[in-house]
Structure 1
Amino acid sequence: MPIVDRAQLLTQLSPPLDHLLCSQLLDEFISAEKRFIQRDWEPAELDGGQFCEILARIIYHKDSGNLSNAKSFDDCNKYIENDQVNHAIQPRQNALHLVRVLKTVYKFRSQRGAVHISPSYAPNHMDAKLVIECIRWAMNETLRLFWNGDREQVAKAIRELLQFDVPCIGKFEDVLLVQRTDLSAEEELLVLLHYAGEQGFSRTECGRHSQSAASTVTRVLQKLTDPSVRQVVVLRNGNYRLTDLGSRRIRNELAAKLLLE
């Protein structure tokens, strides 16, 4: 599946989670990821509080049995941390670990001041990275606890959620299009395979989604799968997917080209 497939995540999480809260949570998570990869640091730093509020309500609902779409962040946490009431989430440390991470993000983003380490280092980037990594952990832990499906599928979803989003790829009905015009044929195929995730793309799909000639696509795939490069691997079903070396190249060399500019 493409990275961060919202519809599948919502289906697998709701039920058991409340549909509205789960939908809101996924929207906040995906928005935070996209803004972060687009280097829009301030929303990732400030808007992380909305993700925390929604997830706190979700945990409160599952732990108490009471559904509230407006209960405050602090009130949700007070119940979850209260040793004098009965808790549905067991073992208790699962809920406690989550709310402690959420409290760190919630308080940090509201109290953090601009502390300049050096003239060349942007503290808002550092702060936003801390917030986004905590949000990623909390989202992955939510999947682990509440995913309503096969355990291998949740493991796959968690792995793919840890990858970059691909803002430069647009989906128009059943057509995928890399909307940047400054990529080489090799870079375009790497970006497409990054988007394809663990499932990968078949040779036919690679050709269909690429704007390069068929002969160029074949030549590039041969190069990327060559033993001397090993950035792409052919799966048993014939699909092509990125290796760890290919993913590292995306992160180190092509991250800026995932943006829509």
Structure 2
Amino acid sequence: MISRAKLLSAVPPALRDPLFTEFNSIVQNYLEGRFSPSELSGGVFCEIVYTILAGFASGSYPHRPTKPRDFVSACRALESNASGPRSFQILLPRLLPALYEIRSNRGVGHTGGDVDPNLMDATAVVTFAKWILAELIRVFHTVSPQEAQRTVDSVAEINIPLIWSDGIIKRVLDTSLKLGQRILVLLSSCPAGARIDALCGWVEPDDEAYFRRALRKLHTDRFVELNERANQVRLLPPGAKSVARLLRPRLLE
């Protein structure tokens, strides 16, 4: 896998590393079905990208990401920089404010406000973030054009969530996952744990006895904490790490 330094060699680590960290957080929360504004927002990502663009325009990068007092006006000011690529002058400065604001005041004070916008907003955030990161890689890369193209293409791919939910039922959409993996992925979307009978309904095992044996094995391996008497199970840190490893190929390291 191509290193971050080669993908964005001109960007200092103090900005490059937070950029990738925030991007991966956005994608991972989306894949895990965490769609609420507090869990999946492009605000910090936008601030980091703005800082990179401002540093490129001035020729001097700040030592850490900065948040302009007036984000829209600050982005508009970037349009006066005629020395960089057109995407840095027009496209990104105009796209960032939309991404920055997309999760604010949604579902409040307008007709149809009882319709939950979380999934469509989260999808927009992920799609915009991928396009923005791919554009930064396209401009800043120091690898071969072929390697850069492959990386840009991989970033731009649209991933569906690993978990679908209507608020009651949950389903793992990747049917290639084994039973134990499906259990862990589902529990990763339940910070407070889940009822065993509900989890069984989400997994839809061919054999409930086999499902319970799998749960006990995960408990023995300390991936989950299982309390059959209380009908409760929750993810433990080793289980969360296993889910992170499962998601890693879908992220950009």
Task: Give the alignment's TM-score, normalised by structure 1.
Answer: 0.53
Q: Which residue of 2 aligns with 1:52?
A: 46
Q: Which residue of 1 aligns with 2:179?
A: 182
Tell me if 1:40 matches 2:34: yes
Secondary structure of 1:89 counterpart: coil
Secondary structure of 1:24 counterpart: helix
Aligned-residue Cα RMSD (Å) equals 3.8
Q: Distance in 2 between matches of 1:164 and 1:158?
A: 14
Please give the residue correspondences for 1:106-255 in structure 2 after superposition, counting only pairs within 5 Å.
Answer: 106-114=100-108, 122-161=116-155, 162=157, 164=159, 181-182=178-179
Q: Is the 8 A contact 2:30 2:126 kept in 1?
A: yes
Secondary structure of 2:66 counterpart: coil
Q: Is the 8 A contact 1:46 1:110 kept in 2?
A: no
Unmatched 5+ stretches in structure 2: 163-175, 181-245, 249-253
Partner letter of residue 71 of structure 1? Answer: T
Cα deviation code 1:162-193 (max 9, x no counterpart): 254998xxxxxxxxxxx95328xxxxxxxxxx
Task: Tell me the CA shift for residue 142 of structure 1.
Answer: 1.0
Partner letter of residue 54 of structure 1? Answer: I
Secondary structure of 2:77 counterpart: coil
Q: Is the 8 A contact 1:33 1:165 kept in 2?
A: no
Task: Tell me the CA shift for residue 63 of structure 1.
Answer: 1.2
Q: Is the 8 A contact 1:24 1:54 kept in 2?
A: yes
Give the structure with the higher percent helix. 1
* From 93, 97, 100, the counterpart of 1:103: 97
Secondary structure of 1:26 counterpart: helix
Q: Distance in 2 between matches of 1:11 and 1:38?
A: 28
Q: Distance in 2 between matches of 1:134 and 1:83?
A: 19
What is the count of residue pairs matched by the alignment? 170
* From 85, 90, 101, the counterpart of 1:90: 85
Q: Distance in 2 between matches of 1:80 and 1:151?
A: 29
Q: Distance in 1 between matches of 2:37 and 2:136?
A: 22
Partner letter of residue 106 of structure 1? Answer: Y
Give me the identity figure in percent. Answer: 25
Tell me if 1:65 matches 2:59: yes
Cα deviation code 1:64-88 (max 9, x no counterpart): 1132224324567645633896554
Partner letter of residue 178 of structure 2? Answer: T
Q: Distance in 2 between matches of 1:63 and 1:82?
A: 10
* From 65, 76, 80, the counterpart of 1:81: 76
Cα deviation code 1:132-186 (max 9, x no counterpart): 111111111111111121111111012222254998xxxxxxxxxxx95328xxx
Q: Which residue of 2 aligns with 1:24?
A: 18
Q: Distance in 1 between matches of 2:113 and 2:96?
A: 29
Partner letter of residue 21 of structure 1? Answer: L
- Classify 1:80/1:97 alpha carbon distance in 2 versus 1 (closer, same or farther; 3 Å): same
Partner letter of residue 39 of structure 1? Answer: G
